[in-house]
């Protein structure tokens, strides 16, 4: 049996061995599959594979196994390739079968030549980018985890020359964290190509600016197609082969240089429903255990978080409740055009003082959220941004790729819109389209990508939080005027600082936010009945404030989210329902007050 | 002109040439070919069936012979040289390739390279790797052409006779029109000779030239005098093996496939070298070399002077053909959710170049190819990736005249036969109307009548055109307005319809979801509220325009709607030019009452403050009110809760699937054009008279021709729902019921409790008008009682009148009355303070 290092360093050899053993006939693929699956099911070995997100490209070698966590940004269409070839050695005359699977080209000796291609198969290709909006702490922890565990086994003692590089590597790892965008080292035979920064952005095509500077093309061999914008961690064979020189000048396939966009031939993958680095499981038994541990603490953590938010909102405990519910929101089901479970929140009455922009309330709020959630993006909704930013992804037929827009986000990426940046002025056509797109996400959780000749609708799950002076121009589910007690001063920076000091609590809060929103939830029949009764009663003749259908919709969502904040997967009595009603009542009274 | 003997002779020569071609390819060097990968197994023997080395009977007249090379004879027109019909290569089929790697399937047991059985009549060849016997293939195809009768009348073109062999008539057309292409519907072939069909699909590269050969032989036998631009080329289409673009896989390589999609890019015309012309620099000896898989083998040794490497290429005398690269994208209907559309490359050759434009929806029949990337000779690494494309042999445009709403010959419906059968079966169900209505927006509770109204709107009335008699087209689109309390899921309903109907627009009178071209952001200085002022309204021709918050729409936009909703056109005046565009769009609008809640004591006009001129253009106006009745609430509550917390399967059985619904509607809208029968006409008249009578009882007219038109449209739509070509009494009844129901909700006079169409047509109920008249009369009386005074103080007069009146008089009423009097010439209101009395 090959050693551990061997299958990470030289997976091709193993694949070739198995291929030859079966001389390319049917069970060979299953055996390859089994071989790697048996190793990859172990979380520890999985994490021992170096991750392309954290390890510099120049430290990785062509043909080794790597990991990459990212969002599937674009589907490049299937690729047909010769999966088996008969290769003849011209000097010895011996022939052997070579597989073309898991590689871009066959590596032949000088005296070898392909006699014949036996089989042709197709694989699907995707362009994969680092998870857009991944918050800095997530990156930091992944970096700590992956640079330690990832590099050691991949540096076998047998390759002596790699040894002295070790110290250097670690230093550079730190550098990467500091400097925002460093040009990628060119790893292979393409020295003439120098990449300027602007060009790099165009090639990488990230939906959001990111400190990372690597994307990759993932080639998947299994039949099932990966939906766009899914977040996966893939394990596969790294390939630096330069893209083929097209013999047809008319073809315009998307073939970025592999020094920036390496290819990964996928061997295994894991769909991520969250990207919290503290929680390593995503489903199954392990997930149940991990989530149960988090849920146990949920009541206390909820109080902590609620307290933190209340302090942050200068004593507005209602806003803290709504924010908590908003952070729990997730589209858990769709019925015709309705997205159930979402709760877009519009906090109004945001103070506009003369503070430096960096110190504005929305900025502070975002930097607080950024420390808690795993994916978030802050977007000042200024006229300029709306008019000039590319928000809606658009297909570029010239380049044959989907040009990303900043609304191409994976599920549960918190979008914080700062409408205080808005000024009076003209919105041009693009601006109107962008506002429409934001409105569609907020109201229906869908976005229409621009495919030039037609639009293609994609479902989203992006919680939208809008901070504005008055009711936002974008329709939201909940509109809450803040009641900030300004006499408390501006303790925002201190609060964030204080939060940072208690690492243990911070971690618990993060885990709490990740886990509770993913919990399943149901309403038992008795409560359902009670809730319905409540609705009917409120509409009985003579009642002051009859509940409208929309109120009822909102209450159903709110009560669900409220229960989740307590880590409850079921409503046991109507107390939380009543809480939700009380919250709504208070909100409505605030609304009518503020409009007066 | 050609004698049988001659033709026999020529077929004999063809045989001999063929043999030599076979021999040639036997000895030809076979390089490892990554180009046409065979996936069946190992094989290293190649053969081509097309004779390449034959000497052309046609000499090159001009050294400049771009575009249409005509030198290579491939025996497809037996007597071409003599007749003047030149031969063209078919780059789409690549019949001119000498070497081709052939896949050996496991099922072929008898693999003799070339079997030649001397049968009387012609040569018989089995092509390597296939089971195609050339002579059999020819006989079969000949029989097909001679015997196939087109049974389906629908597909039959003009001047075609059902009782005569279809393709013989096509040949006749070729002779008449001198258009040398024979379009072969593969489904015909399949029905006639399944085996030949299978061969065509599996080995198009071999079979299509054989068919070409057959057709040409037959044609020139029949019409020996006809001179065509070039030999007839068979263009098969509608191969049964229609593939979804997503389903293309390596097994389809080198097979005939049919896929549909949308053209997104076409390249310029690329001249592609077919044959290179070389001249020896030493002795001027010439040689021509065919291009083989994109490569030219330069002759190394001159046959005349024995000089090595002395040849140079003469571009002017080389042969070129046209090629165009077309990029085809999967049509949105074929796409699974969450995926981006796939694209394929299509190469069009010669005549098919520039036949399609970007944006066209086409069905392409062609041969699926895989070509390896060029290997870098310096590197020892070998690319294992192929590029794939389709060599098109036939284009078929879909829905060319979609915008014009015409049905043309051979127009393809998007539905397969099974689908159509399913739809028709559905239409037979007695409760189809209710069933469909229920299927609309199941998440929205009840409101059955509104859903029924919308359903009728989705189908629309029958298109009528009276342009010839000078009346112009009648509107067939149905417009609906939903008014109601906020929070009664109007927006949801609009959104649902927007999602359901392919060509639809969703826009909002104000707010974020407006679809204008530009907008302006303003800030209210007092409330600091940001407001988005939107620009133009975008209307889709032949679609549905869902307008939310209709009442909040700016006057300018609304005024456009006046024209759109009645004339179905849109006039644009720019730079002195007035241009009228078609905007045949149905409008589904939602409006909120001015006050936060619907005021039952006010008329609809007062509640939503829309001009009655606009309101009268709506066929149906529904009120979506919160009924606030306990039983209703109970069911509503259960419905809403189950929306959030139900098990998924519960709903599945009850409702119609969305795509079935969509197809059902699309088919109905397009294919059913019901006409009124006599009974229905009588009933319509009755209904109309009835409507008018209701009003006439009070001395008012309560229905106008516009209402009658609405009724007709609604009845037609109802007949369409059940795919009936006849509008029957039953349809009229339902239309009348629905119309009355809507009227009951919207045009009920809050004062009298009776339905009063006048509210919609004049904005005032007859009761209100009567009252206004009374007030005016009383005021007149009062003024007359004043006697000789020439003017009155305004305020004083108002106070006096108020005091003297038995009923409560508001200032508005007083002003209205004054205005009436002024109109009658009794008084003149001079400014705010005085009233002059005219004597």
Ranked by mean pLDDT, which of A299-313, B26-40, B740-754 comes out on top?
A299-313
* Interface contact flag, B643 A340, Cβ < 8 Å: yes
Closest residue by Cα to residue B621 from B541, B674, B565? B565
Chain A contact set for B338 (CB, 8 A): 227-229, 458-459
Residue A170 has what pLDDT? 39
Is A468 in CB contact (< 8 Å) with chain B?
yes
Is B532 in CB contact (< 8 Å) with chain A?
yes
Instruction: For residue range B123-174, list pLDDT tens digits in order.
Output: 455 666 667 777 788 888 888 888 887 765 555 555 666 677 888 888 888 8
DSSP-derived secondary structure for A217-273: EEEE-SSSPPPTT-EEEEEEEEE-PPPPPPS-TT-------TTTS-EEEEEEEEE-S
Calculate how close chain B gets to A248, using CA atoms only, in Å.
9
pTM, 2 dp: 0.73
- What architecture is the B417-748 domain classified under in CATH? 3-Layer(aba) Sandwich (3.40)
Give yes or no for a contact between B201 and B256, defined as CB atoms under 8 angstroms apart: yes
Q: Answer whether residue B216 shows pLDDT above 70.
A: yes
Domain boundaries, chain B: 125-237, 250-397, 417-748, 764-837
Instruction: For residue range B155-164, list pLDDT tens digits in order.
Output: 555 566 667 7
Instruction: Tell me what percent of the residues of chain B surpass a pLDDT of 90.
Output: 0
Chain B contact set for A449 (CB, 8 A): 340
Give yes or no for a contact between A515 and A295, defined as CB atoms under 8 angstroms apart: yes
List B residues 481-510 in contact with A (Cβ-Cβ < 8 A).
485-489, 492, 495-496, 498-499
Chain B contact set for A468 (CB, 8 A): 530
- What architecture is the B250-397 domain classified under in CATH? Beta Barrel (2.40)
Is A223 in CB contact (< 8 Å) with chain B?
no
Which CATH homologous superfamily contains domain B125-237? Answer: mini-chromosome maintenance (MCM) complex, chain A, domain 1 (3.30.1640.10)
Q: Which candidate from A78, A120, A546 shows the least CB-CB separation from B628?
A: A546
Q: Which candidate from A395, A402, A425 shows the least CB-CB separation from B521?
A: A425
Give yes or no for a contact between B354 and B269, defined as CB atoms under 8 angstroms apart: yes
**Nearest-Cα residue of chain A relative to residue B628:** A539
Instruction: For residue range A173-194, list pLDDT tens digits in order.
Output: 333 333 333 333 333 333 334 4
Is B342 in CB contact (< 8 Å) with chain A?
yes
* Interface contact flag, A443 B637, Cβ < 8 Å: no
Query: How far is the CA of A456 from the CAs of A117, A453, B332, B340, B499, in angstroms?
Result: 39, 10, 7, 8, 12
Higher-confidence residue of B86 and B682: namely B682
* Interface contact flag, B380 A227, Cβ < 8 Å: no
Residue B574 has what pLDDT? 62
Between CA A400 and CA A402 the distance in angstroms is 7
List B residues 770-829 in contact with A (Cβ-Cβ < 8 A).
none
The residue among B369, B384, B447 with the most chain A CBs within 10 A of its CB, best to mutate, is B384
Between CA A249 and CA A246 the distance in angstroms is 7
Calculate how close chain A gets to B32, using CA atoms only, in Å.
5
Report phi then psi at B786, rounded to 5. Answer: -70, -20
Calculate how close chain B gets to A72, using CA atoms only, in Å.
11
* Interface contact flag, B386 A116, Cβ < 8 Å: no
Mean pLDDT over residues A571-577, rounded?
84
The residue count of chain B comes to 839
DSSP at B693: H
Calculate how close chain B gets to A496, using CA atoms only, in Å.
30
Chain B contact set for A439 (CB, 8 A): 511-513
Reported as a pLDDT band with limits 50, 70 and 90, residue A128 is very high
Residue B655 has what pLDDT? 52
Chain B contact set for A100 (CB, 8 A): 384
Query: What is the interface pTM, i.e. ipTM, of the complex?
Result: 0.75
Instruction: For residue range B510-525, list pLDDT tens digits in order.
Output: 543 334 456 677 777 7
Is B31 in CB contact (< 8 Å) with chain A?
no
* Interface contact flag, A540 B630, Cβ < 8 Å: yes
Residues 6 or more apart in contact with residue A274 via CB below 8 angstroms: A282, A374, A412, A514, A518
The residue count of chain A comes to 596
Residue B276 has what pLDDT? 84
2.60.40.1170, 3.40.50.300, 1.10.10.10, 3.20.20.80: which CATH number matches B764-837? Answer: 1.10.10.10
Mean pLDDT over residues B599-625, rounded?
75
* Interface contact flag, A470 B531, Cβ < 8 Å: no
Instruction: For residue range A359-375, list pLDDT tens digits in order.
Output: 788 889 999 999 999 99
CB atoms within 10 A of CB B498: 20
Residues 6 or more apart in contact with residue B744 via CB below 8 angstroms: B755
Least trusted range by pLDDT, from A30-34, A283-287, A482-486, B508-512 = B508-512
What number of helices (H) and strands (E) belong to chain B? 24, 27
Element (H, E) at A418: strand A414-418
Ranked by mean pLDDT, which of A198-202, A294-298, B549-553 comes out on top?
A294-298
List A residues 362-401 in contact with B (Cβ-Cβ < 8 A).
383, 395, 397, 400
Between CA B719 and CA B731 the distance in angstroms is 6
* Interface contact flag, B39 A106, Cβ < 8 Å: no
List B residues 79-98 in contact with A (Cβ-Cβ < 8 A).
none
Is A229 in CB contact (< 8 Å) with chain B?
yes
Per DSSP, which regions of A51-183 are E strands?
65-89, 95-99, 105-106, 112-129
Per DSSP, which regions of B409-494 are E strands?
464-466, 472-474, 480-484
Least trusted range by pLDDT, from B64-73, B661-670, B718-727 = B64-73
Between CA B226 and CA A432 the distance in angstroms is 62
Is B626 in CB contact (< 8 Å) with chain A?
yes
Between CA B219 and CA A391 the distance in angstroms is 60
Between CA A484 and CA B345 the distance in angstroms is 61
* Interface contact flag, A116 B42, Cβ < 8 Å: yes
Calculate how close chain A gets to B70, using CA atoms only, in Å.
26
Query: Which residues, in sequence order, are bridge partners of residue B391?
Result: B347, B367
Is B325 in CB contact (< 8 Å) with chain A?
yes
């Amino acid at each position: 049996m090959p050693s551990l290092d061997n299958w990470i360093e030289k997976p091709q050899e193993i694949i070739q061995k198995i291929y030859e053993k079966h001389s390319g006939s049917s069970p060979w693929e299953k055996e390859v599959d089994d071989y790697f699956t048996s190793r990859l099911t172990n979380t520890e070995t999985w994490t021992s594979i170096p991750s392309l997100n954290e390890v510099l490209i120049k430290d990785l070698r062509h043909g080794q196994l790597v990991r990459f966590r990212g969002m599937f940004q674009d589907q490049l269409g299937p690729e047909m390739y010769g999966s088996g070839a008969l290769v003849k050695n011209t000097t010895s005359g011996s022939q052997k079968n070579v597989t073309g699977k898991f590689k871009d080209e066959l590596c032949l000796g000088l005296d070898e030549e392909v006699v014949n291609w036996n089989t042709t198969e197709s694989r699907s290709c995707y362009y994969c980018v680092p998870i857009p909006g991944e918050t800095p702490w997530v990156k930091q922890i992944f970096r700590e985890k992956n640079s330690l565990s990832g590099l050691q086994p991949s540096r076998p003692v047998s390759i002596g020359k790699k040894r002295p590089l070790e110290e250097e590597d670690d230093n550079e790892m730190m550098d990467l964290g500091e400097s925002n965008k460093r040009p990628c080292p060119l790893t292979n035979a393409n020295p003439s190509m120098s990449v300027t920064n602007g060009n790099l952005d165009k090639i990488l095509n990230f939906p959001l600016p990111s400190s990372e500077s690597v994307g990759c093309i993932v080639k998947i061999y299994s039949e099932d197609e990966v939906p766009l914008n899914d977040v996966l961690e893939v394990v596969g064979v790294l390939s630096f082969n330069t893209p083929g020189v097209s013999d047809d000048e008319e073809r315009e396939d998307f073939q970025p240089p592999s020094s920036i966009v390496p290819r990964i031939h996928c061997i295994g993958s894991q769909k991520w429903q969250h990207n919290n680095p503290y929680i390593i499981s995503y489903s199954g038994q392990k997930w149940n255990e991990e989530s149960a541990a988090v849920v146990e603490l949920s009541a206390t953590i909820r109080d902590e978080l609620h307290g933190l938010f209340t302090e942050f909102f200068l004593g507005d405990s209602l806003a803290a409740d709504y924010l908590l519910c908003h952070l729990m929101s997730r589209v858990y089901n769709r019925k015709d055009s309705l997205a159930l479970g979402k709760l877009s929140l519009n906090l109004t009455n945001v103070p506009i003082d003369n503070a430096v922009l960096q110190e504005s309330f929305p900025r502070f709020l975002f930097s607080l959220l950024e420390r808690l959630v795993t994916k978030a993006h802050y977007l000042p909704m200024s006229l300029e941004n709306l008019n000039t930013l590319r928000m809606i992804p658009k297909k570029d037929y010239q380049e044959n790729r989907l040009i990303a827009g900043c609304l191409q986000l994976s599920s549960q990426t918190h979008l914080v819109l700062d409408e205080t940046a808005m000024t009076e002025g003209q919105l041009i056509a693009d601006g109107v389209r962008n506002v429409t797109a934001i409105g569609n996400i907020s109201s229906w959780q869908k976005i229409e990508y621009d495919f030039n000749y037609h639009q293609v609708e994609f479902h989203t799950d992006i919680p939208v939080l809008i901070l504005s002076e008055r009711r936002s121009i974008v329709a939201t589910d909940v509109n809450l005027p803040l009641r900030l007690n300004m006499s408390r001063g501006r303790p925002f920076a201190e609060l964030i600082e204080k939060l940072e000091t208690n690492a243990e609590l911070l971690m618990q809060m993060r885990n709490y936010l990740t886990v509770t929103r993913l919990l399943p939830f149901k309403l038992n029949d008795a409560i359902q009945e009670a809730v319905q009764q409540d609705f009917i009663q409120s509409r009985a003749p003579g009642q002051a404030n009859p509940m409208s259908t929309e109120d009822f919709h909102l209450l159903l969502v709110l009560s669900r989210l409220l229960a989740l904040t307590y880590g409850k997967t079921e409503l046991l009595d109507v107390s939380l329902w009543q809480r939700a009603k009380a919250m709504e009542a208070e909100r409505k009274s605030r609304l009518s007050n503020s409009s007066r | 002109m050609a004698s049988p003997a001659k033709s026999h002779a020529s077929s004999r020569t063809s045989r001999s040439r063929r043999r030599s071609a076979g021999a040639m390819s036997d000895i030809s060097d076979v390089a490892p070919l990554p180009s046409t990968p065979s996936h069946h197994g190992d094989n290293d023997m190649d053969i081509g069936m097309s004779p390449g080395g034959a000497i052309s009977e046609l000499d090159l007249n001009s050294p400049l012979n771009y575009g249409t090379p005509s030198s290579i004879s491939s025996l497809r027109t037996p007597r071409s040289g003599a007749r003047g019909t030149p031969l063209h290569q078919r780059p789409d089929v690549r019949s001119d390739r000498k070497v081709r790697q052939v896949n050996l399937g496991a099922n072929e047991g008898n693999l003799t390279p070339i079997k030649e059985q001397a049968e009387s009549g012609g040569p018989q060849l089995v092509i390597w790797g296939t089971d195609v016997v050339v002579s059999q293939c020819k006989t079969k195809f000949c029989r097909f052409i001679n015997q196939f009768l087109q049974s389906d009348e629908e597909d039959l073109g003009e001047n075609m006779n059902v009782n005569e062999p279809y393709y013989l008539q096509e040949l006749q057309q070729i002779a008449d029109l001198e258009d040398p292409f024979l379009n072969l519907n593969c489904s015909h072939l399949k029905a006639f000779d399944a085996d030949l069909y299978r061969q065509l699909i599996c080995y198009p590269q071999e079979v299509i030239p054989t068919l070409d050969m057959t057709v040409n032989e037959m044609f020139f036998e029949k019409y020996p005098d006809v001179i065509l631009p070039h030999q007839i080329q068979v263009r098969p289409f509608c191969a049964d093996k229609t593939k979804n673009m997503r389903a293309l896989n390596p097994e389809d390589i080198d097979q005939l496939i049919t896929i549909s999609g949308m053209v997104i890019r076409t390249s310029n015309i690329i001249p592609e070298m077919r044959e290179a012309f070389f001249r020896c620099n030493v002795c001027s000896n010439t040689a021509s070399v065919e291009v083989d898989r994109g490569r030219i083998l330069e002759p190394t040794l001159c046959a005349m002077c024995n000089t090595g490497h002395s040849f140079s290429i003469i571009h002017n005398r080389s042969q070129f053909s046209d090629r165009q690269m077309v990029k085809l994208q999967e049509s949105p209907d074929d796409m699974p959710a969450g995926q981006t559309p796939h694209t394929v490359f299509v190469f069009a050759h010669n005549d098919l170049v520039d036949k399609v434009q970007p944006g066209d929806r086409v069905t392409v029949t062609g041969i699926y190819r895989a070509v390896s990337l060029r290997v870098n000779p310096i590197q020892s690494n070998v690319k294992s990736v192929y590029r794939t494309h389709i060599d098109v042999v036939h284009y078929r445009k879909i829905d060319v005249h979609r915008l014009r709403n015409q049905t043309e010959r051979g127009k393809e419906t998007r539905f397969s036969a099974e689908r159509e059968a399913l739809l028709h079966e559905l239409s037979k169900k007695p409760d189809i109307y209710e069933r469909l209505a229920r299927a609309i927006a199941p998440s929205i509770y009840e409101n059955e009548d509104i859903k029924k109204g919308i359903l009728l709107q989705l189908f629309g009335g029958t298109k009528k055109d009276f342009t010839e008699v000078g009346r112009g087209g009648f509107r067939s689109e149905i417009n609906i307005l939903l008014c109601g309390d906020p929070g009664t899921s109007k927006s949801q309903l609009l959104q649902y319809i927007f999602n359901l109907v392919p060509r639809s627009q969703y826009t909002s009178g104000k707010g974020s979801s407006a679809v204008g071209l530009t907008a302006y952001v303003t800030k209210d200085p007092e409330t600091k509220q940001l407001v988005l002022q939107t620009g133009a309204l975008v209307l889709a021709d032949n679609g549905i325009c869902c307008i939310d918050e209709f009442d909040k729409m700016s006057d300018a936009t609304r005024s456009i709607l006046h024209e759109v909703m009645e004339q179905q056109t849109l006039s644009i005046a720019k730079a002195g030019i007035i241009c009228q565009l078609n905007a045949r769009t149905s409008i589904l609008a939602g409006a909120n009452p001015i006050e936060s809640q619907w005021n039952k004591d006010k008329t609809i006009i007062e509640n939503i403050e829309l001009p009655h001129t606009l309101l009268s253009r709506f066929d149906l106006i529904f009120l979506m009110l919160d009924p606030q009745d306990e039983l209703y609430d109970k069911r509503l509550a259960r419905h809403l809760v189950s929306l959030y917390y139900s098990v998924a399967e519960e709903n599945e059985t009850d409702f119609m699937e969305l795509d079935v619904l969509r197809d059902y509607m699309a088919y109905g809208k397009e294919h059913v054009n019901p006409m009124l029968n006599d009974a229905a006409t009588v009933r319509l008249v009755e209904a109309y008279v009835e409507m008018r009578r209701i009003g006439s009882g009070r001395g008012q007219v309560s229905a106008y021709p516009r209402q009658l038109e609405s009724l007709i449209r609604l009845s037609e739509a109802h007949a369409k729902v059940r795919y009936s070509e006849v509008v029957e009494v039953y349809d009229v009844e339902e239309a009348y019921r629905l119309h009355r129901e809507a009227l009951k909700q919207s045009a009920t006079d809050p004062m009298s409790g009776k339905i009063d169409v006048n509210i919609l047509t004049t904005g005032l109920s007859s009761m209100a008008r009567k009252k206004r008249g009374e007030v005016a009369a009383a005021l007149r009386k009062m003024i007359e009682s004043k006697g000789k005074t020439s003017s009155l103080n305004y305020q004083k007069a108002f106070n006096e009148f108020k005091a003297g009146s038995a009923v409560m008089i508001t200032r508005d009423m007083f002003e209205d009355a004054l205005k009436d009097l002024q109109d009658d010439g009794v008084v003149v209101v001079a400014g705010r303070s005085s009233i002059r009395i005219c004597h």
